[in-house]
Amino acid sequence: MRTLKLWLDRSLTAQAVLIFALGLGLTAVFHRDGHPGWWVIRTALFTAVVIGIVAVQRRRTGRAAGTGPRGVAEINRRIRHREVPEDPEERAAMRRLLAEQLGRMERGGRWLPYWLGCMGLVAAGLIVLGALTGSLTFPLVFAVGTAGFCYWVFRMRRRSMELHRDMTSALRDPR
């Protein structure tokens, strides 16, 4: 499992294969009546768009850190394991990557209440529609799932920001 995770972390091709396989399966489930050739074409188009977006983000992150995609993957692994590098160049690259990621999380945090509020409104609307139609099973399951997802987002965001702030302060401390 570790090698698969490393392969997905470092290889854009591996990510494309995984996205294509999952997309093809979902397309087959939701469009059973369609021709399998259209499934493949539609999935290939979506995969190309997603991989294009991922490639641009990887290049932007690599430029911010001053290293390539493999270096960014290695720095992210070290951040997750709270390993502070000894090499001054690696410390500088980690410092730049932490600043970029922390800034992105803080900028995204401004919109987070609006996104979560929108999700809550959709869940509340589904509950109202379910009450009007007499079927509350799906709306209640969706509302509980939405609440669980919102809690998970808040928890993971808080953990990530604490980790990034701790690592930033650890990089500032002289050894």
Number of structural domains in the chain? 1
Token duo for residue 25: 């399966």
The closest of 7, 12, 6, 160 to 77, measured between CA atoms, is 6
H-helix or E-strand spanning residue 117 = helix 88-133
The closest of 113, 145, 115, 143 to 129, measured between CA atoms, is 143
Q: Is residue 143 part of a domain?
A: yes
Q: 57-104, pLDDT tens digit by residue?
A: 888 888 888 888 778 888 888 999 999 998 888 899 999 999 999 999
Residue type for position 140: L
Report the percentage of the chain scoring pLDDT > 70.
99
Q: 78 and 94 in contact (C-beta within 8 Å)?
A: yes
Q: Is residue 107 part of a domain?
A: yes
Q: Is residue 25 part of a domain?
A: no
* Residue range(s) defining the domain that contains residue 154: 97-175
Q: Is residue 164 part of a domain?
A: yes
Query: For residue 32, what pLDDT band results from cuts at 50, 70 and 90?
Result: confident
Q: Is residue 80 part of a domain?
A: no
Q: Is residue 48 part of a domain?
A: no
The closest of 66, 113, 128, 125 to 94, measured between CA atoms, is 66
Q: 125-166, pLDDT tens digit by residue?
A: 999 999 999 888 989 999 999 999 999 999 999 999 999 999
Q: Is residue 9 part of a domain?
A: no
Q: How far apart are CA 81 and CA 147, in angstroms?
A: 29
pLDDT of residue 175: 55
C-alpha count within 13 angstroms, C-beta hemisphere, residue 140: 5
Q: Is residue 132 part of a domain?
A: yes
The closest of 71, 123, 68, 65 to 95, measured between CA atoms, is 65
Residue partners of 71: CB distance under 8 A and separation at least 6: 62, 65, 93
